[in-house]
Amino acid sequence: MSDIKKFMYVNRTAPYGTIYAWESLEVVLIGAAFEQDVSVAFVDDGVFQLAKGQNTTELGIKNFSPTYAALGDYDVNKIYVEKESLEARGLTIDDLMDLKYEDEDDDWAEKDSIHVVTAAELADILEQQEVVFSF
């Protein structure tokens, strides 16, 4: 496919309780094969999707959180987390998984995938998108 579009996946729900988070991640992984300009946003309870140390043993359902670490290998390395959503839930970036990617344009230097942005900054980023999936 010749034309590259700016794709953003907006995640708004907690990782467990509903299947939206997991099925969103499945779209992101499949979509990566289409080589679009992909970014992923986490807002509202969606920020919990990136919380580190998730343990679903007692829930009896699959813990899919390790999959987020693979996003860097799929060239999905623009991950935006809304600052206000973190703060409202008593979280900081230190509570989130340390997602990295290797920058092929910078001698494969390891870089952070997660960027904490304000709601206003995220609005600007959203404004630039051509295709927005919301989950």
Partner 1 sequence: MKFAIQVNEGPYNHEASVSALNFVRAAVDAGHEIFRVFFYHDGVNNGTRYTTPPQDDINIVKAWSELAEKHNMDLVVCVAAAQRRGIVDEGEQERNGKDGNNIAPGFRISGLGQLVEAGIQSDRLVVFGD
* CA pair distance 109, 78, nearest whole angstrom: 15
3-state helix, strand and coil shares in percent for the chain, rounded to the nearest 5: 40, 25, 35
Nearer to partner 1, 44 or 121 (CB): 44
Minimum CB separation from partner 1 for residue 30, in Å?
4
| 34 near partner 1, rule: CB under 8 A | yes
| 60 near partner 1, rule: CB under 8 A | no
Kindly tell me which residue out of 3, 94, 105, 106 binds partner 1, with binding defined by CB under 8 A. 3
Amino acid letter, 103: D
The one segment of 23-31, 45-53, 83-91, 117-125 that binds partner 1 by CB under 8 A: 23-31
Q: What is the DSSP letter of 49?
A: G
| 133 near partner 1, rule: CB under 8 A | yes
Pair of tokens at residue 3: 């034309």
Surface-to-core class of residue 84, CB atoms within 10 Å of its CB (0-12 exposed, 13-18 middle, 19+ buried):
middle
| 26 near partner 1, rule: CB under 8 A | yes
* CA pair distance 105, 112, nearest whole angstrom: 15
Residues that bind partner 1 (CB under 8 A): 1, 3, 5, 7, 19-20, 23, 26-27, 30-31, 33-34, 36, 131-135
